[in-house]
Homo-oligomer: A and B are copies of this chain.
Amino acid sequence: MTSAPIHNRYEKYRKMLTEIADLEKIIALMQWDQEVNMPSAANAFRARQISRMAAQHHEMAVSEDYYDVLASLLDDDTLNNHQQMNVQRSMEDYQQEKRLPSEFVVRLSEAVAKSHQGWVDAQKENNFRLLEPHLEQIVALKREQAQLLGYKDHPYDALLNNYEKGLTVVELDEVFTGLKHQLGKLLDEIRGARATAPPSLKMVFPRQKQLDLCRVIASEFGFDFSRGRLDLSAHPFSLDLNPRDVRITTRIQEEDLMESLSSVIHEVGHGLYGQGLSLKEYGLPGGEAASLSIHESQSRLWENQVGRSEAFVNGYYQLISNYFPEVLKDISAFDFFRAINQVRPSFIRTSADEITYHFHILIRYELEKELISGAMEVSYLPQGWKEKYQKYLGLEVPDDNRGVLQDLHWAHGDIGYFPTYSLGSLYGAQFYAAAEKAIPDLDEHIRHKHYKPLLKWLKKNIFAHGRLFTSKELCEQVTGEPLNYKYFDEYARKKYRIVYGIK
């Protein structure tokens, strides 16, 4: 007869988390709208509204009522294992959030709003100095945040922890050192083999046709348009409001089909994850994405392991040619496959190929670590940026817009975020290798546009766990071993052997 009140407590917990999630999603909607729809003249109104909702969200997430419910459930052994894990994750979240005073949350949110505008102005003038004072404030706040959150070895660990629970500089350094070495070698080999370049795909692909094609492919991959949308925005992104409202965006350039196609497939990867999360567990850890890197592993896996494979191209080339018959009439499917897998150092992260991409991340990781440790001043950033692009990619960065101003992350206070992109790519390769073992003839399925077996496997092995496990735990569980960059290396070598004829 004691189960009723316990059941009620768990229901109370669920109700509180639903409320917290609702506030979070209202904020997310306001941000999505700002990016996709809102006239930028109204930025100040929106910034104030978001700031206020963020403060309210924080207050709920650290309220005593909420703590009492959590604490009472924590040592309640009548909960089943899944419920216990939900409560444990929530308690960790509470403790993390509790370390930040409300006034700090408001200060950070206001600084970010101003800094966003500073970034817009700086981009317009192609001049980092317009962002500099704002970014100085952001970095100071993030250093303050690291102190508030606490850390053992490096203040950057505290920030990393916001995005990847338990990840440290020591671990990341190890990953990047290995990756840098392996990919450096591969890059050299590709450079040496540049003789047989495929035809360029820089032609004119009408915008509406690109969008139509993207919608067809998104739908065939399994993205459910009755529970989601695809819009245009300056920077492609995805948003999970709930499993019945998942929004992805892309951008379209008339002379570059792959820009839209790969963006859409990338965001569809995010979207499939969002639509595949548990509806019943909305707002609870069990119904949320595991982490940024696991979210990114899904987008990378669909974009690269699937969307840049020979099997995909073979499956879709006829359809793609039907959309653009004149443009593609002299290009074979194999040449198309080679063309979309070209490796070439470039200035802009978001249009980088799969290999050099990791160097873009490495550079940002090294720089932001130094900003947070205090080893580098914000004013030195453009110079530091140039030196590293010279060192790692052999490029002379010509200006701020093609350099330090290209990403919005730092201006938005997202420091410690970039590494999750590389981790996502590595996790994606490792998950895909596991899927290949588990699903007989996966390559054949892809060749026949048959994505259900892969999606089903991802749902069962990844989506179903929400964020009950950390990225590390999930990786071990799904693939039988910790994160290992050799899977990405093997995948890349196998592909570039074909594309560039290297051994």
Proximity bits, A264-282, B CB within 8 Å = 1, else 0: 0000000000000000001
Whether the pair A45, B242 counts as a contact (CB closer than 8 A) is yes
A228, CB-defined interface residue at 8 Å: yes
Max chain B C-beta neighbours (<10 A), residue from A38, A227, A245? A245
- In the assembled complex, how far is the CB of residue A57 from the closest CB belonging to chain B, in whole angstroms? 12
10 A-B residue pairs with CB within 8 Å: A18-B48, A22-B49, A22-B52, A26-B49, A26-B53, A37-B247, A41-B226, A42-B227, A42-B242, A45-B242
Number of copies of this chain that the complex holds: 2
- In the assembled complex, how far is the CB of residue A37 from the closest CB belonging to chain B, in whole angstroms? 6
Whether the pair B226, A52 counts as a contact (CB closer than 8 A) is no
A231 to B242, CA, bound (A): 24
Proximity bits, A223-255, B CB within 8 Å = 1, else 0: 001111101000000000110110100000000
A29, CB-defined interface residue at 8 Å: yes
Whether the pair B19, A245 counts as a contact (CB closer than 8 A) is no
A244 to B39, CA, bound (A): 7
Chain B residues in 8 Å Cβ range of A244? 39, 41-42, 45
Whether the pair B42, A229 counts as a contact (CB closer than 8 A) is no
A270 to B25, CA, bound (A): 30
How many A residues are at the interface, by size bracket?
Answer: 20 to 34
Whether the pair B42, A245 counts as a contact (CB closer than 8 A) is yes
Q: Beyond A37-B229, A45-B242, list 18 extra A-B contacts (CB 8 Å).
A: A18-B48, A22-B52, A26-B26, A26-B30, A26-B53, A33-B33, A37-B231, A37-B247, A38-B245, A39-B226, A39-B229, A39-B245, A41-B227, A42-B227, A42-B244, A45-B244, A45-B245, A46-B245
In the complex, the chain B residue whose C-beta lies closest to that of A40 is B226
Whether the pair B242, A39 counts as a contact (CB closer than 8 A) is no
Chain B residues in 8 Å Cβ range of A39? 225-229, 244-245
Chain B residues in 8 Å Cβ range of A241? 42, 45
Chain B residues in 8 Å Cβ range of A227? 39, 41-42
A38 to B247, CA, bound (A): 9
A47-81 interface (Cβ within 8 A of B): 48-49, 52-53
Whether the pair A22, B48 counts as a contact (CB closer than 8 A) is yes
A253 to B39, CA, bound (A): 27
Chain B residues in 8 Å Cβ range of A41? 226-227, 244-245
- In the assembled complex, how far is the CB of residue A453 from the closest CB belonging to chain B, in whole angstroms? 25
A46 to B19, CA, bound (A): 12
Contact of A25 among B49, B225, B226, B228 (CB under 8 A): B49
A138-161 interface (Cβ within 8 A of B): none
In the complex, the chain B residue whose C-beta lies closest to that of A208 is B208
Chain B residues in 8 Å Cβ range of A245? 38-39, 41-42, 45-46
A98-145 interface (Cβ within 8 A of B): none
A225 to B42, CA, bound (A): 12
A48 to B282, CA, bound (A): 13
A229 to B22, CA, bound (A): 27
Chain B residues in 8 Å Cβ range of A45? 22, 25, 241-242, 244-245, 282
Proximity bits, A209-221, B CB within 8 Å = 1, else 0: 0000000000000
